[in-house]
């Protein structure tokens, strides 16, 4: 309380820049002497490893869930608590996806006050910090994707992007600068930030009164306790674990054990997957310069945030999934809120822009594939052969056919020719341009491709007509010329 | 027997051409006076419609199956007859697909004598004519696909290509010329042809002694009759209907009725689908100039002949399906025959050729899609604007930004900018080429696409540098020039 930080004075800490932008300023960085190197700049040793760990985050992300798992093993799950847990799972998940992410980090739609309050409360219940802190990091993630300034860069490993970036202390100088001036103007965000961001020294004293704990643990406990007397179950299941439950009381110990294992799939872990799995697993239909990927599995466990290649290309679109058959309950929630008047100005990129990205990415993949195939010797690398040499060689047992000014060696192909041996043989030593292109048979595209792999030379002058031209220039009588 | 046709003298009728090819010559065309117009050249009227119908084919294709359906309604299906029917369905189907089609029409592999005899016998059992007659028509179908000379062109309607071309008389002059010299050299083909092609006048007397009826009706009747005493069932089910059976004796009358309806799915109808459905339903991954298409449904009912777009591109490939997960039992049968030494020289196009076709077709589709999208006003249609006018207009409330020598109007986009209002506004009236391309943020491909739709002009000279250049030419002092 002795710190002069603005947060203590009722204003969220921010740094203003001359270009009109404002960046987030961590409260606790005040405590470090900027002359001393930050702990993250020192290598991890047996003597200092515990200083590298962010114990507050570790407590919320690892220790509390483990306590929950252990508790679950001893606590029977009642029917009504199970239902409430599922509802609360969706509710607190939407706090992150529809609230922190799409509303505040990306301003992909506008929300009326009641919806904002609901989302801020539910977001707090997910124990992922305040909307202001979360959005600031997320904007840096989008702006500096895959670089050193990306707070959860997948280039540092899947585990790092999933949980390591929170469990280990971060160098405040490293994260990229972002603009959060719009968030500083939003009273709900500022209020939630002041009441959610725990200041470390006062943590143990004050934390229990703050909204994180209120929403995440006390609220579900009270609902289940007052509602149907299941105080412990509400605390363990709806509070700490908030899992998808298929278990019911009185199951065999085998099921109890497997329950213990499935229990680790909590809403927290699920939403963290957006930072890890969504940058690691799946397709890249829009752009493959960076790591974001689309995958239905990621979408299923993150309430629809799994179409992440799309999302990084079109971050301010209120949708993550653009096809009707894709799973994006967050989009459906926002749409429902719009119908009842609580959301408006839903942003959406034009379909034209989306299709352009798809076309370009497909083109890129196609070009890569094309480059790996054999299209025959390029014309400029072929020897030039005269008509007479071509005819002479054809008579010497080499089956040469001239088509469109290019000489092809079909010796090995005669027996395989789909149109039979007789027809292709009848063209040896001749110009078969017309025959091949409809005169006898209009060959398929595949036949043209195959033909190009048989190129052995270019005809001097281009066509059989060449002999007529030469005859004329030598003033010989070749008959019927220019009749 | 009075006809002097070569067939009657023990040699299959053929016409020889100077280029070494031989075409099939229908026996019955002898009976027509070439001076009189062929019946197909006359319009169909109430007085002559029955002359347009090919009654022999109609009998085998329509009347016999209807008789079978009616018979099935009154005949219980025994367990062993059902199994035999399924086996015989596959056997006679393979006679057409592995025999008539891939072996004889396309020479896509070579077969030893026992396999040839088996395929010729099974093919006859399908009542689709002789291998020689069938291959000749099929080669014409490949060579003249979708044209007037295609014997079963889908351009004349789905029903025509399915069954109409057989039920209605055909003008023998119309069908395209093909080379069947290789088939005339194959003794199994010639023998089967002589004993299967019924000559109409002697049909009623001799037909029952010929191999079509022997294989298709007498053989299964005898197997089921001698084997387990089910003479009538063998005749009706394995003989006439040869269906996929899921029915067993003593079912309710409802099931009996639906059985009657499903009964029309016979091996004949199924293989006919190659000519109709395969040119009508599905994708065209290799070429879309003609009608052939790939579809798993067609493949399922035709023992794997449904990958027909591939097949028309690569007709002499012994495979129709190239992916392991596609259904092509005919290919599996040929492969098995190879393992036991009855088939050899299996032809297969190089994967390289197949991929080239795919790449080109994808390219074609992509180009079509690209042409339908808005890529912004082409540069050559934009007005040329001077740097000073650009700056002046930017100050007049129009939000103009210059990037890479092109001027963009971002007025309507500022509020939607995913990077916030402040950053984009800071670029108004300036050259933001560097800022946009990494100076502040390395925009995505989508952002570049979007930008191009906002083009309103081209900067005279290309860049902001223009003012320096002009200043120089006007000999003003602009400082720091060439330092
Ligand atoms: C010179 C090199 C030739 C190559 C590489 C070649 C290649 C092919 C290929 C790949 C096919 C099957 C794909 C398709 O239907 O288009 C084919 C079919 C055919 N070719 Fe050729 N061909 C050649 C020359 C000829 C000539 C000179 C003739 C005629 C004089 C000819 C007549 C035919 C006919 C009639 C077919 C259709 C056969 C059928 O699909 O049943 N080809 N050829
Ligand atoms: C002039 C026209 C501009 C257009 C059409 C435009 C368009 C876009 C688009 C479509 C995105 C989202 C896709 C992506 O991540 O690339 C984006 C993001 C961004 N833009 Fe722009 N932009 C413009 C100008 C600017 C300027 C001048 C700046 C900086 C001075 C800027 C800074 C940013 C930043 C930092 C982001 C990342 C925000 C995030 O993903 O959270 N933009 N812009
Ligand atoms: Fe991401
Ligand atoms: Fe995002
Ligand atoms: Fe076909
Ligand atoms: Fe074929």
pLDDT per residue as tens digits for the range B18-31: 777 888 876 554 45
Indicate yes or no: CB of B445 within 8 angstroms of CB of A286. yes
pTM (2 d.p.) = 0.76
pLDDT per residue as tens digits for the range A110-132: 999 999 999 998 887 776 778 99
pLDDT band at A87 (very low <50, low <70, confident <90, very high): confident
Place of tokens 């281009």: A462
Q: Which of B264, B259, B265 is nearest to B76 (CA)?
A: B259
Indicate yes or no: CB of A366 within 8 angstroms of CB of B357. no
Are A446 and B284 in contact by the 8 Å Cβ rule? The answer is no
pLDDT band at B471 (very low <50, low <70, confident <90, very high): low
Q: Residue B212: is its pLDDT beyond 70?
A: no
Which ligand has its closest atom nearest to the C-alpha of B431?
Answer: 2
Are A43 and A224 in contact by the 8 Å Cβ rule? The answer is no
How far does the centroid of ligand 4 lie from the alpha carbon of residue A142, in Å? 7
Q: Is B15 helix (H, G, I), strand (E, B) or coil?
A: strand
pLDDT per residue as tens digits for the range B224-272: 777 787 877 777 777 666 533 322 223 333 333 333 333 333 555 666 7
Least confident of A263-272, B320-329, B395-404: A263-272
Kindly write down the DSSP assignment for every residue of A60-122, as one continuous string.
IIIIHHHHHHHHHHHSPPPHHHHHHHHHHHHHHHHIIIIIIIIIIIT--SEE-HHHHHHHHHH
pLDDT cut 90: percent of chain B above it: 34
Whether B312 contacts chain A with CB within 8 A? yes
Rg (Cα) of chain B, in Å, rounded? 35
Kindly write down the DSSP assignment for every residue of B162-211, as one continuous string.
IIIHHHB---TTTSPP---HHHHT-HHHHHHHHHHS--GGGHHHHGGGSH
Q: Residue A29: is its pLDDT beyond 70?
A: no
Q: Which of B12, B349, B127, B211 is nearest to A418 (CA)?
A: B349
| Average pLDDT, integer, range A32-49 | 73
How far does the centroid of ligand 6 lie from the alpha carbon of residue B308, in Å? 8
Closest by Cβ to B359, choosing from A143, A314, A373 = A373
Q: Which sign, positive or negative, has the C-alpha torsion B469, B470, B471, B473?
A: positive
Rank A200-209, B32-41, B375-384 by mean pLDDT and report only the highest.
B375-384
Q: Residue B414: is its pLDDT beyond 90?
A: yes
Indicate yes or no: CB of A19 within 8 angstroms of CB of B357. no
pLDDT per residue as tens digits for the range A279-317: 877 788 888 878 888 888 788 878 888 899 999 999 999
Rg (Cα) of chain A, in Å, rounded? 35
pLDDT band at B100 (very low <50, low <70, confident <90, very high): very high
Which ligand has its closest atom nearest to the C-alpha of B138?
Answer: 6
> What are the helix (H) ranges across A197-340?
203-206, 211-213, 219-228, 231-233, 253-262, 267-272, 296-301, 308-313, 329-339
In the 8-state DSSP scheme, what is residue A59? I
Mean pLDDT of chain A: 78
Compute the distance between CA of residue B119 and CA of residue B125 in angstroms, rounded to an integer: 10
pLDDT per residue as tens digits for the range B141-162: 999 888 888 887 777 777 777 7
Q: What is the pLDDT of residue B427?
A: 94
Q: Which sign, positive or negative, has the C-alpha torsion A88, A92, A95, A96?
A: negative
Closest Cα in chain A to B420:
A179
Q: What is the pLDDT of residue B436?
A: 94
Kindly tell me the burial class for residue A22, based on how many C-beta atoms sit within 10 Å of its own C-beta (0-12, 13-18, 19 or more).
buried
State the ipTM, two decimals. 0.78
C-alpha distance from residue B192 to each of B16, B120, B134, B435 (Å): 21, 7, 12, 80
CA of B432, closest atom in ligand 2: 27
Q: Is B145 helix (H, G, I), strand (E, B) or coil?
A: coil
More confident residue, A262 or B215: B215
**Which residues in chain A are contacts of B316 at CB distance < 8 A?**
416-418
More confident residue, A155 or B381: B381
Compute the distance between CA of residue A439 and CA of residue A399 in angstroms, rounded to an integer: 20
pLDDT band at A268 (very low <50, low <70, confident <90, very high): low
pLDDT cut 90: percent of chain A above it: 34
How far does the centroid of ligand 1 lie from the alpha carbon of residue A418, in Å? 6
pLDDT band at A252 (very low <50, low <70, confident <90, very high): very low
């Amino acid at each position: 309380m002795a710190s002069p930080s603005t947060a203590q004075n009722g204003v969220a800490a921010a740094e203003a820049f001359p270009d009109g932008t404002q960046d987030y300023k961590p409260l606790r960085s005040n405590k470090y002497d900027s002359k001393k190197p930050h702990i993250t700049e020192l290598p991890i040793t047996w003597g200092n490893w515990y200083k590298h760990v962010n114990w507050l985050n570790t407590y919320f992300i690892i220790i509390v869930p483990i306590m929950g798992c252990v508790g679950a093993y001893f606590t029977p799950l009642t029917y009504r608590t199970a239902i409430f847990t599922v509802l609360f799972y969706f509710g607190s998940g939407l706090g992150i996806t529809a609230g922190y992410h799409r509303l505040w980090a990306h301003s992909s739609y506008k929300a009326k006050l009641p919806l904002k309050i609901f989302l801020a409360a539910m977001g707090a219940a997910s124990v992922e910090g305040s909307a202001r802190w979360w959005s600031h990091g997320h904007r840096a993630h989008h702006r500096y994707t895959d670089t050193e300034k990306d707070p959860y860069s997948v280039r540092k490993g899947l585990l790092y992007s999933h949980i390591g970036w929170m469990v280990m202390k971060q160098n405040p100088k490293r994260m990229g600068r972002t603009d959060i001036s719009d968030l500083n103007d939003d009273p709900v965000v500022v209020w939630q930030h002041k009441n959610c961001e725990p200041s470390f020294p006062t943590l143990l004293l004050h934390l229990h009164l703050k909204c994180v704990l209120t929403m995440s643990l006390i609220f579900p406990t009270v609902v289940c306790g007052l509602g149907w007397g299941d105080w412990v179950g509400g605390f363990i299941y709806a509070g700490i674990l908030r899992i998808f439950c298929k278990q019911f009381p009185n199951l065999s110990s085998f099921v109890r054990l497997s329950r213990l294992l499935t229990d680790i799939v909590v809403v927290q872990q699920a939403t963290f997957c957006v930072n890890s799995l969504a940058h690691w697993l799946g397709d890249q239909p829009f752009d493959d310069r960076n790591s974001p990927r689309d995958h239905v599995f990621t979408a299923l466990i993150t309430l629809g945030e799994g179409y992440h290649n799309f999302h990084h290309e079109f971050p301010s679109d209120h949708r993550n999934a653009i096809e009707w058959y894709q799973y994006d309950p967050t989009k459906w929630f926002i749409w429902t809120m719009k119908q009842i008047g609580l959301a408006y100005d839903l942003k959406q990129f034009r379909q034209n822009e989306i299709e352009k990205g798809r076309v370009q990415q497909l083109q890129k993949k196609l070009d890569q594939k094309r480059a790996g195939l054999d299209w025959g010797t390029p014309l400029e690398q072929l020897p030039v052969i005269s008509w007479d040499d071509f005819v002479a060689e054809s008579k010497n047992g080499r089956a040469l056919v001239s088509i469109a000014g290019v000489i092809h060696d079909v010796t090995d192909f005669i027996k395989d020719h789909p149109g039979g041996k007789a027809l292709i043989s009848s063209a040896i030593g001749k110009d078969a341009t017309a025959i091949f292109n409809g005169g006898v048979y209009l060959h398929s595209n595949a036949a043209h491709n195959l033909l190009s792999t048989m190129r052995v030379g270019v005809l001097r002058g281009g066509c059989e007509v060449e002999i007529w031209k030469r005859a004329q220039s030598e003033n010989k009588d070749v008959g019927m010329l220019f009749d």
